[in-house]
């Protein structure tokens, strides 16, 4: 310790001396400094190679993911990343020279792996990976085929140049003794490196705005944090946030309780607003159909005059159909969708509710309906442990979970039992449940329409090409002399593309849905039943696929040039809007007279309050609204902090927006909506992480017990 202090003092004195000389003789000092820097680099080639390649890899990651020139030129994340890399590299000088390469090479491999994993993860989730998601890796392995076919890109492995470069530099140094590290004062180098790292960190901190600091602390918007703070700073912060649930008693409980109380202080404990739909379905059965990866755009498409989703379209025309509905999933995908629908809460900013927070107390649709005498169940022909459903369903209040072990796996398509077989077997199970004579709430979860959409030989015959009648020079149809039929010319269009395969999968899922509804009708299970159908999330396919869909050049079998008249540009905004999913409520009543389209923008967290008004239950802690009690003021908040209303879609990461109506958008409107979104996310996360529903219930119970004791005295 004394030796280290002595070294720091020497460095400080030398720094003051150099600074004084620089003031007295600037020109000579600059030359001296330049020569000194060259000499330092020459004597520490491996160390500076470590700094350079890892800084470049971090910058490359930001470009390949967030992908803006402005992001590349942003000096703040470069300073932040360099500060961390410098500190990591500086520690090598405390080691013996023979161990220095091993350490720097190992650290480069680790940093490169961080870049590779984040690159892969961003492709699928448009976000960056979190330490808290380690517990969900098993679910990724179970859909490994989806990752290899839809996620892997050549650029994901470009970061491996870093360890290769370090290895080559090391071999070069071993062959050329003149290039090996020459200085002996290793501790001094370490101290200088760490002090420089600290200076860079301090400089970086002084450059931050209060907005950036606030978002860093909340960790909702990972893309924004990486863009402003760099990938390594993000992961340090993420590490702290990820262990937060493990030490809730020590980590911000009071602040979380304050946020929770402030958000819910004016929320009534009972339903107060009523409308024309209040209680119309009270006492009826509910079958909730979870449509895997079903996007709303599918309902608008036809191929060669044939609807892609005829059964879903017919059902929507006879339902309360919500055509501007958005899923609000984060990294938990399907499980996030189930969670938000059943609790009207948002996914957490670290981990997933189903895996990381399964042991919390929630107010859910199954629990509230059980209080009204309902039997509650879920059906999904996948492993019960997938997304920790077999455990989480108990927390949500389901009486029974029918999983893979309860089904005969007689036909496999994609990840497991085909939807058609699943529905057929589920009808038989629902019959037995119906015979109990109690109203029931059941969720049936589809599986076949799941990425990577590669089982095209099992989806059935649904061409996604373009067929046109062949015409002669005079414009008349060309008739085949043997068959007497008009000759046709075929253009590939979406055949052989990822999106085309998805459409084939969608058409199969739609057929399965049609058979399920017909089977329920035939079994007499629709008489006192309401069907609630929702798409859980989008298909997670790249923008380029949609560019081909909307801008196909059949003459060249490619995409039309952007300057072509009528070209539909699928930019980042349009891509987000294309992610909307179907949501509908169907019953005999809606089929006969109540069917209509509702265009108000709506999110998954609005489902619970909307159904609650219809079926007679209420959740004080719901974040959403009964859509029939809202006008133009509804806001759909997304887990990354972005949000949308009927007027605009606002991208919080980039700080820009897309107007959805031809009217002026004031700065005040954006600020107010942004504040609302942030408060909502904070309140939801605080409630879940710190188990505040349970704490509130215990507090109320303790107060009640105290009053009863006083009365008894």
Distance from C-alpha of 263 to C-alpha of 622, rounded to nearest angstrom: 11
Residue 320, strand partner residues: 585, 596
Total Cβ atoms within 10 A of residue 666:
9
Whether the per-residue pLDDT at 18 is higher than 60: the answer is no
- Mean pLDDT over all residues of the chain? 87
- Give the tens place of pLDDT for each residue, 543-554: 888 999 999 999
- Spatial contact of 581 and 565, defined as CB atoms under 8 Å apart: no
Q: Judge whether 306 and 506 are in contact, CB under 8 Å.
A: no
- Tens of pLDDT along 591-650? 999 999 999 999 999 999 999 999 999 999 999 999 999 877 899 999 999 999 999 999
Q: Which stretch, 156-170, 240-254, 305-319, has highest mean pLDDT?
A: 305-319
Read off the pLDDT of residues 205-214 as tens digits, 9 standing for 90 and up.
888 887 788 7
Note the pLDDT tens digit of each residue in 386-399.
888 999 999 999 99
Residue 326 has pLDDT above 50, yes or no: yes
Determine the Cα–Cα distance for residues 65 and 106; give it in Å rounded to an integer. 25
Which residue intervals of 556-665 are DSSP H helices? 572-577, 588-589, 607-615
pLDDT tens per residue across span 470-518: 887 877 888 887 787 888 899 999 999 999 999 999 999 999 999 999 9
How does residue 32 score in pLDDT terms, banded at 50, 70 and 90? very low
Q: What percent of the chain has pLDDT over 70?
A: 86
Q: Which residues are 471's β-sheet partners?
A: 477
pLDDT tens digits, 329-377: 998 899 999 999 999 999 998 888 998 899 999 999 999 999 999 999 9
* CA torsion, ordered 18, 19, 22, 23, to nearest 10 deg: -140
67 vs 64: CA distance, rounded Å: 5
How much is the average pLDDT of 400-421?
96
Residue in the structure block whose two tokens are 């005969």:
408
The DSSP symbol for 347 reads P
Is pLDDT at 453 greater than 70 in this prediction? yes
Half-sphere exposure of 113 (CA within 13 A, CB side): 6
Q: How far apart are CA 157 and CA 112, in angstroms?
A: 9
User: Of 427, 447, 430, 449, nearest to 439 (Cα)?
Assistant: 430
Nearest alpha-carbon partner for 442 in 456, 458, 431: 431
Q: Which residue has the higher pLDDT, 410 or 540?
A: 410
**Does the pLDDT at position 559 exceed 60?**
yes
Determine the Cα–Cα distance for residues 537 and 326; give it in Å rounded to an integer.
Answer: 8
What does DSSP assign to residue 471?
B
Bridge partners, 440 (sequence order): 375
pLDDT at 29: 44
Q: What tokens does 640 get?
A: 């990354």
Q: How far apart are CA 694 and CA 701, in angstroms?
A: 10
Extended beta strands in 619-686, E state: 636-637, 643-644, 648-651, 656-659
Q: For 672-712, what is each residue's pLDDT tens digit?
A: 999 999 999 999 999 999 999 999 999 888 888 778 787 77
- pLDDT reported for residue 473: 80
Q: Is 287 exposed, middle or buried (0-12, 13-18, 19+ CB in 10 A)?
A: buried
Distance CA 351, CA 353 (A): 7
| Main-chain dihedrals φ then ψ at residue 284, nearest 5 degrees | -80, 155
Task: Identify which has the larger pLDDT, 567 or 15.
Answer: 567
Q: Specify the pLDDT at position 173.
A: 83
Three-state helix/strand/coil letters over 276-345: CCCCCCCCCEEEEEEECCCCHHHHHCEECCEECCHHHHHHHHCCEEECCEECCCCCCHHHHHHHHHHHCC
Mean pLDDT on 534-547: 92
Reply yes or no on whether the pLDDT at 34 is more than 50. Answer: no
Residue 184 structure tokens: 């002996």
- What the block records as the tokens of 647 is 């007027």
| Residue 34 CB partners (closer than 8 Å, separation 6+) | none
Closest listed residue to residue 689, CA positions, set 213, 220, 210, 216: 220
Question: Distance (Å, rounded) from C-alpha 387 to C-alpha 401?
Answer: 13
29 Cβ contact partners less than 8 Å away, ≥ 6 residues apart = 18, 21, 22
* % of the chain exceeding 90 in pLDDT: 58
CA distance linking residue 408 with residue 413, whole number of Å = 14
Give the C-alpha separation, 22 to 32, whole Å: 10
Q: Is 363 helix (H, G, I), strand (E, B) or coil?
A: coil
Cα–Cα distance between 592 and 615 in angstroms, integer? Answer: 19
The per-residue pLDDT for 252 is 80
CA distance 666 to 691: 38
What is the per-residue pLDDT for 209? 83
Element of type H or E holding 531: strand 529-535
Residue-level pLDDT at 135 = 57
Reported confidence tier of residue 149, pLDDT bands at 50, 70, 90: low
Least confident interval from 45-49, 155-159, 515-519, 535-539: 155-159
Q: What is the spatial distance between Cα 572 and Cα 686, in angstroms, rounded to a whole number? A: 31
| pLDDT category of residue 150 using cuts at 50, 70 and 90 | low
First-to-last alpha carbon distance for the chain, in angstroms, is 66
Residue 359 structure tokens: 């042991």
* Separation CA 570–CA 544 (nearest Å): 8
Residue 166: CA count within 13 A, CB half-sphere: 26
The three-class DSSP label of residue 54 is helix
Strand order in the sheet with 400-402: 400-402, 375-379, 440-445, 285-291, 529-535, 583-586, 320-322, 596-598
């Amino acid at each position: 310790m004394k030796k280290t202090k002595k070294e720091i003092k020497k460095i400080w004195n030398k720094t003051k001396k150099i600074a004084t000389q620089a003031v007295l003789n600037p020109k000579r000092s600059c030359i001296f400094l330049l020569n000194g820097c060259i000499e330092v680099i020459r004597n520490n080639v491996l160390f500076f190679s470590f700094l350079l390649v890892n800084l470049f890899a971090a910058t490359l990651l930001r470009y390949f993911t967030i992908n803006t020139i402005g992001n590349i030129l942003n000096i703040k994340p470069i300073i932040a990343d360099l500060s961390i890399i410098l500190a990591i590299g500086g520690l090598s000088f405390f080691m013996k020279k023979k161990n220095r390469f091993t350490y720097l090479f190992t650290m480069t491999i680790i940093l490169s792996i961080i870049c590779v994993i984040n690159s892969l993860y961003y492709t699928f989730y448009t976000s960056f990976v979190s330490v808290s998601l380690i517990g969900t890796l098993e679910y990724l392995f179970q859909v490994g085929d989806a990752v290899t076919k839809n996620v892997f890109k050549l650029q994901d492995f470009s970061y491996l140049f870093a360890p290769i470069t370090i290895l080559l530099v090391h071999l070069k140094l071993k062959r050329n003794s003149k290039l090996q590290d020459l200085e002996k004062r290793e501790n001094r180098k370490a101290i200088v490196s760490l002090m420089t790292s600290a200076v860079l960190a301090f400089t970086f901190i002084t450059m931050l705005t209060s907005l950036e600091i606030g978002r860093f602390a909340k960790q909702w918007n990972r893309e924004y944090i990486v863009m402003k703070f760099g990938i390594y700073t993000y992961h340090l912060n993420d590490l702290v946030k990820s262990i937060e649930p493990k030490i809730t008693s020590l980590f911000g409980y009071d602040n979380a309780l304050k946020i929770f109380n402030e958000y819910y202080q004016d929320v009534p404990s009972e339903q107060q607003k009523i409308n024309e739909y209040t209680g119309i379905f009270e006492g009826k059965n509910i079958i909730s159909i979870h449509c895997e990866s079903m996007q709303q755009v599918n309902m608008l498409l036809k191929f060669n005059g044939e609807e892609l989703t005829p059964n879903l379209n017919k059902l929507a025309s006879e339902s309360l159909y919500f055509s501007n509905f958005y899923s609000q999933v984060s990294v938990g995908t399907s499980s996030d969708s189930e969670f938000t629908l059943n609790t009207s809460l948002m996914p957490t900013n670290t981990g997933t509710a189903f895996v990381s927070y399964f042991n919390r107390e929630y107010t859910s649709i199954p629990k509230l309906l059980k209080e009204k005498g309902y039997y509650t169940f879920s059906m999904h022909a996948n492993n019960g442990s997938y997304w920790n459903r077999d455990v989480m369903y108990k927390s949500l209040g389901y009486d029974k979970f029918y999983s893979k072990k309860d089904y005969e796996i007689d036909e496999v398509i994609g990840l497991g039992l085909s939807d058609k077989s699943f529905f057929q077997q589920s009808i038989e199970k629902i019959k037995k449940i119906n015979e109990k004579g109690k109203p029931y709430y059941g969720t049936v979860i589809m599986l076949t329409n799941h990425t990577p959409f590669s089982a095209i030989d099992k989806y059935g015959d649904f061409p996604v090409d373009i067929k046109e009648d062949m015409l002669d020079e005079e414009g008349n149809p060309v008739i085949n002399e043997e068959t007497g039929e008009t000759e046709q010319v075929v253009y590939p269009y979406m055949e052989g593309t990822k999106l085309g395969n998805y459409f084939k999968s969608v058409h199969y899922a739609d057929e399965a849905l049609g058979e399920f509804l017909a089977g329920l009708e035939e079994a007499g299970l629709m008489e006192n039943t309401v069907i609630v159908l929702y798409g859980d999330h989008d298909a997670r396919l790249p923008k380029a696929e949609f560019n081909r869909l909307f801008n196909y050049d059949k003459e060249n079998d490619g995409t039309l040039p952007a300057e072509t008249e009528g070209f539909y540009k699928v930019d980042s905004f349009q891509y987000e809007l294309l992610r909307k999913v179907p949501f509908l409520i169907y019953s005999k009543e809606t089929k006969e007279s109540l069917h209509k389209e509702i265009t108000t923008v709506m999110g998954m967290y609005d489902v619970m309050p909307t159904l609650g008004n219809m079926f007679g239950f209420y959740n004080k802690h719901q974040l959403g609204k009964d859509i029939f009690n809202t006008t133009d003021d509804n806001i759909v908040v997304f887990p990354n902090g972005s949000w949308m209303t009927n007027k605009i879609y606002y991208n919080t990461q980039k700080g820009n927006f897309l107007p959805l109506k031809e009217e002026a958008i004031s700065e005040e409107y954006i600020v107010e909506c942004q504040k609302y979104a942030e408060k909502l996310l904070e309140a939801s996360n605080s409630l879940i992480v710190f188990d505040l529903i349970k704490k509130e219930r215990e507090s109320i119970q303790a107060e009640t017990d105290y009053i009863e004791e006083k009365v008894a005295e």
